[in-house]
Amino acid sequence: MGLGILASRTIRPASRLLQSQSSNFFLRTIVSKPELQSPESAAVSEPEPPTQILPPRNPIGGARVHFSNPEDAIEVFVDGYAVKVPKGFTVLQACEVAGVDIPRFCYHSRLSIAGNCRMCLVEVEKSPKPVASCAMPALPGMKIKTDTPIAKKAREGVMEFLLMNHPLDCPICDQGGECDLQDQSMAFGSDRGRFTEMKRSVVDKNLGPLVKTVMTRCIQCTRCVRFASEVAGVQDLGMLGRGSGEEIGTYVEKLMTSELSGNVIDICPVGALTSKPFAFKARNWELKATETIDVSDAVGSNIRVDSRGPEVMRIIPRLNEDINEEWISDKTRFCYDGLKRQRLSDPMIRDSDGRFKAVSWRDALAVVGDVIHQVKPEEIVGVAGQLSDAESMMVLKDFVNRMGSDNVWCEGTAVGVDADLRYSYLMNTSISGLENADIFLLVGTQPRVEAAMVNARICKTVRASNAKVGYVGPPAEFNYDCKHLGTGPDTLKEIAAGRHPFCTALKNAKNPAIIVGAGLFNRTDKNAILSSVESIAQANNVVRPDWNGLNFLLLYAAQAAALDLGLIQQSAKALESAKFVYLMGADDVDVDKIPKDAFVVYQGHHGDKAVYRANVILPASAFTEKEGTYENTEGFTQQTVPAVPTVGDARDDWKIVRALSEISGVKLPYNSIEGVRSRIKNVAPNLVNTDEREPAAFGPTLKPECKETMSTTPFQPAVENFYMTNSITRASKIMAQCSAVLLKK
Amino acid sequence: MAAPFTLRKIGVPPNSANLTEARRRVFDFFRAACRSIPTIMDIYNLQDVVAPSQLRFAISAQIRNNAHITDPKVIDLLLFKGMEELTDIVDHAKQRHHIIGQYVVGEGLVQNTGNKDQGRTDFLKNFYTSNYF
């Protein structure tokens, strides 16, 4: 030590010049100690670090742990941290519970395990090589290490292999910015590659107008194959070939016609399968995400609307375990381009020569207010459409009632549908409760086209627990094993009487579920059919205190809320004898039934069918532009959030009716949305509790006996064209392409 | 006693001592503005568009808008702004569409709001303006 200082002192005089020049110059000499120069010091191990108290770790990646059998919990150690997991958990799931995110490409929590990407390799003590954590079950006392050099080297190696044949497409690939490969190569990959040969390329497959395929980018993770066969129930996709020549495709030139085909776009970790309508339109960092609800069917799937300025660019699913898990149907996903076409943006009045003329709001409302006072109260009719939210329906009903009329109803509810008992129009087993059923009886409903998410749930149940499905209705396609029992009410009679062979299966089931379609509400013998369904339910113990298996599948997003608020059709001849008809987005109304001299006001956002009969057009906002409450078919209340501004001079539906009421002299007592909501609270308080499901209070025992007889006409399909059911989808170009190409002829 | 109003003023006149003097200044300003109306109509070719009485009404409406103010300093500042605007207009620093849009037709002008909105509630007034209120 002294030698070193002496050595440093000898150097110093020579560099005194340098030192004097800059006082900030720091001269440091290398000093060596005798202890360090001896060979034994290298062999001495470091002292043990004091055992720290590790901070508590939270499960990562949305993982939730459910101990179905608390005694069966295993303890494993992840990076030194002890965590308790249930018995069947894999190493990857245990690491997720412990808060460690392991990179993966082929593993997906809702699909079966493939284990072919090898990115999830972690080091497990006492194992000769790293194990694929997604496939390895966690054994008690396992010590898992995720950040050792072996695990890191494994990840770098796998990433290098994946990138070898992956094309340099990032600038032109739609997945850039949200690509798993990009993110994981930045986080876990090495900084340079060693590949100098030619990359292979693969031909692109044509999967339809919705999914764009660039198969060169595919990393053969087989997520799409597993999704198509397990969740969608169609075995369209498969892996052809072996080794580096592997290709994902349909073996024959087949398009993906499944209604869940758009979800492979979300699932694919790279840009091999992307959205064809969204191709090259936007990057994900310039989009603003709004979490809202879909209204194309009665399921109320949770979606995220990505918008750029005033335009909706794409729609992505949001996780909701109870309703739609992580999937949405194609109609939900691709109907957004209908929001840009055929939009009503200015109030219009029909001139004497039959053409529409744009006017200001003052004039339009003044005209309507004049006309409404010239008709008798019982000749006023209001019809709410399939996409109306609860607030606007409440205000419409209040307005029409204050004008003295009782004729206000929602599309899809024919005469005689009563809304007294909620069980008679809701899905009483909730959508997630359908997973516990072990036998399904579908009466007059084709869930694949009416509510694709409910169909996915039935498919999941059938796959998981081999549930039986019996179907009564017109011949239809199902993506799970389904017995076609019959086509009409006769089959129902047989099942109710116990003569049908399906009855034994029904009786032996522990949790039977009957799903009745809302298309049956339009039949004249509806009461008879419902009473026979209820007798089937009673005979097979379907409605019990712990399990209510009697379900009704509604068709439109507005139906459940309308029935809760009391918008029901009282008289069958209301439309034929009307002199003033107020259509609030109602396009499915039979326009020929309206008399020629009636004054029709159409309030809506698209110039669809009913506009051509209207005398006055009042532009309203669509579901992406307003904050509205919707109740789905199981009674779950949700709210949409505005993602883009309204088009032109359009206003919210309820505001238009409220303004009209003031002009007509029957001013409604509320003028803000909170006021409307407190009015709704008086009528149907479950519509104010958002994100909550209100089950029906009473069962079928309260219903009186029905004396009518069933007719013999077989059941008709409720939805003819899956891709074009409401005004938005009928205006959409993508939906038109789909219905031209993808519908089964 | 008070500095006379000139269309080209050099220096800033001192503040008014009390409300009466401020009133006097307001009326002097109004007189100066009305006397420059023929020049304005000539510069911007407003002969077929508007009558001088309408322009006088517009100016007096804007003055009447601030009739409730009692602080002389505030009145002085408003007069300063008004004088600035008048000077700009007479100097042809504005253009025809400015004059028409700000003083003749258009929404928000006193002469355009008729009787139809007086009996209306706030809800209706907001409803006619825009969707977001």
The shortest C-alpha distance from A69 to chain B (Å) reads 54
- Return the pLDDT at A67: 78
Q: What is the pLDDT of residues A728-741, one digit of tens each?
A: 999 999 999 999 99
- Return the pLDDT at A45: 52
Q: What is the mean pLDDT of residues A501-523?
A: 90
Residue A457 has pLDDT above 80, yes or no: yes
Residue A116 has pLDDT above 50, yes or no: yes
* Residue A169 in tokens: 């497409």
> Which of A254, A580, A527, A277 is closest to A407 using CA atoms?
A580
What global pTM score does this model have?
0.82
- Indicate the pairing of strand A636-639 with strand A692-693: antiparallel
**Which residue from A362, A651, A662 is facing B131, i.e. has the nearest CB?**
A651
> Which of A301, A297, A305, A290 is closest to A638 using CA atoms?
A301
Task: Residue A672: count other Cβ atoms within 10 Å of its Cβ.
Answer: 12
Q: What is the pLDDT of residues B7-28, one digit of tens each?
A: 565 677 788 999 999 999 999 9
The shortest C-alpha distance from A644 to chain B (Å) reads 12
The shortest C-alpha distance from A600 to chain B (Å) reads 22
> Which of A312, A303, A317, A233 is closest to A267 using CA atoms?
A317
Interchain CB distance below 8 Å, B131 and A361: no
Tell me the percentage of chain A whose pLDDT exceeds 90. 69
Residues 508-527 (A) with a CB less than 8 A from some CB of B = none
A22 three-class SS: coil
Interchain CB distance below 8 Å, A671 and B123: yes
Residue A487 has pLDDT above 80, yes or no: yes
Which of chain A's residues have a Cβ under 8 Å away from the Cβ of B126? none
3-state secondary structure A536-586: HHHHCCCECCCCECEEEECCCCCHHHHHHHCCCCCCCCCCCCCCEEEEECC
Which of chain A's residues have a Cβ under 8 Å away from the Cβ of B120? 662
B63 three-class SS: helix
Is B80 part of the contact surface with chain A (CB cutoff 8 Å)?
no
CA torsion sign, A206 to A212 to A217 to A219? negative
Considering just the CA atoms, what is the radius of gyration of chain A in Å? 33
Give the integer Cα–Cα distance in Å for B103 and B55.
7
A418 three-class SS: coil
- Return the pLDDT at A14: 47
Give the integer Cα–Cα distance in Å for A140 and A437.
33
CA torsion sign, A14 to A17 to A23 to A25? negative
Residues 105-124 (B) with a CB less than 8 A from some CB of A = 116, 120-124
Residue A44 has pLDDT above 60, yes or no: no
CA torsion sign, A732 to A736 to A741 to A744? positive
Considering just the CA atoms, what is the radius of gyration of chain B in Å? 17
- Return the pLDDT at A19: 47
Q: For the purposes of burial, counting CB atoms within 10 Å of the CB of A374, is it exposed (0-12), middle (13-18) or buried (19 or more)?
A: exposed
Give the CA angle between residues A260, A266, A272 to the nearest 5°: 105
Average pLDDT, chain A: 89
Q: What is the pLDDT of residues A117-173, one digit of tens each?
A: 999 999 999 899 999 999 999 999 999 999 999 999 999 999 999 999 999 999 999
Is A329 part of the contact surface with chain B (CB cutoff 8 Å)?
no
Confidence category of residue A27, pLDDT binned at 50, 70, 90: low
Residue B50 has pLDDT above 80, yes or no: yes
DSSP state of A408: E
Disruptive mutation site among B115, B120, B122, B124 for chain A (greatest number of A CBs within 10 Å): B124
